[in-house]
Amino acid sequence: VRAYETIIVIDSKLEDEPIGEEIETLEALIKSHAGEIVDTERWGRRKLSFEMNNRQQGYYTLMKYNADKSVREDFDRSCKLNENVLRYMTVRVKTHSAKAIAQPSEEKQTGDTDGS
């Protein structure tokens, strides 16, 4: 089982309810193949850096999940074939530890600030 993060840009022409359904469908795909959803962050509508499919805005969502490689491949294929998904990108991460990001590493400081 590997840890993945996928950023998905959904077409902004959809209302909030259909966007939620699209996200739930993608989550269900992962769960149906014995994957585990760690977190789903809905960033909302944002301006695109460049126009995609005559759209200037997209609905951004970050999904963090644990799954086998074959599940990730099926997930990517589903995003590619979904006409409401403008763009997506999946990366493999070492871990989904929120504590590692939120808390700075505790390194022992020597306390020498005078430069000697």
DSSP string covering 29-56, please?
A: HHHHTT-EEEEEEEEEEEEEEEEETTEE
Q: Domains in the chain, start-ordered, CATH in brackets?
A: 2-94 (3.30.70.60)
What predicted TM-score, i.e. pTM, was given to this entire model? 0.76
pLDDT at 97: 62
- CA distances to 21, 78, 95, 101 from 25, in Å: 6, 10, 24, 28
Segment (H or E) for 5: strand 2-11
pLDDT at 80: 94
Q: What is the mean pLDDT of the chain?
A: 84
What pLDDT digit, counting tens, does each position of 30-77 carry? 999 888 999 999 999 999 988 888 889 999 999 999 999 999 999 999
